[in-house]
Amino acid sequence: MPFKLTRSKAVAGLECTNHGLRMAVVKPKRAVFVRSQEIYADSPDWYHGEGLDNMTEALKQAVRHQRLYGAGAVITLPNDQWLLRYMTFPVMPKEQLRQAIELELNVSIHLPFEDAVFDVASVQTLTDQTVEGEQTVAMIATSRDLVERLAGMAENAGLVPRAIEVLPLSVGRLLQQTEAITATLSYAVLYLDGTDVTISIFVGSSLYFHRQLGDLLSEVEESAHVHLSVRDLAVEINRVVDFFQHTLSSGARHVADLFLHIGITDSMSDDANPLETQLAEELPQLNVHKVDIEGVRRRRGLFPPFYPAVGMALKGARG
End-to-end CA distance of the chain: 16
pLDDT of residue 282: 94
* Cβ neighbours of residue 299 closer than 8 Å, sequence gap 6 or more: 32, 33, 34, 35
Bridge partners, residue 287, by sequence: 257
pLDDT of residue 265: 54
Identify the CA nearest to 39 among candidates 11, 63, 69. Answer: 63
The model carries a pTM of: 0.86
Please provide residue 136's backbone torsions phi and psi, each rounded to the nearest 5 degrees. Answer: -90, 130
Strands 186-193 and 196-203: antiparallel
Fold agreement (11-79+145-171+295-317, 182-290): yes
User: How far is 66 from 157, CA to CA, in rounded Å?
Assistant: 12
Residue 142: how many CA atoms within 13 Å on its side-chain side? 19
* Cβ neighbours of residue 17 closer than 8 Å, sequence gap 6 or more: 78, 193, 194, 196, 263
Report the phi/psi class of residue 177: left, alpha or beta, with left for phi > 0 and alpha for psi in -120 to 50.
alpha
pLDDT of residue 213: 83
User: How far is 52 from 48, CA to CA, in rounded Å?
Assistant: 6
Please provide residue 135's backbone torsions phi and psi, each rounded to the nearest 5 degrees. Answer: -135, 150
Pick the CATH number of 11-79+145-171+295-317 from 3.30.420.40, 3.40.1390.10, 3.30.230.30, 3.40.50.2000: 3.30.420.40
pLDDT tens-digit readout, 95-132 = 999 999 888 887 888 888 888 999 998 888 888 777 78
Please provide residue 100's backbone torsions phi and psi, each rounded to the nearest 5 degrees. Answer: -65, -40
3-class DSSP state of 139: strand
Bridge partners, residue 136, by sequence: 88, 123
Say if residues 243 and 188 touch (Cβ distance below 8 Å). Answer: no
What are the average pLDDT values for consecutive 10-residue runs of the chain, which has 319 residues? 48 90 79 76 85 94 91 92 91 90 84 89 82 88 95 96 93 80 86 88 92 65 54 92 92 92 65 81 93 62 75 70
User: How far is 310 from 114, CA to CA, in rounded Å?
Assistant: 32
pLDDT of residue 156: 96
pLDDT tens-digit readout, 227-266 = 567 888 999 999 999 999 999 888 889 999 999 988 865 5
The CATH code of domain 182-290 reads 3.30.420.40
Question: Where do the domains of the chain lie?
Answer: 11-79+145-171+295-317, 82-143, 182-290
* Cβ neighbours of residue 220 closer than 8 Å, sequence gap 6 or more: 227
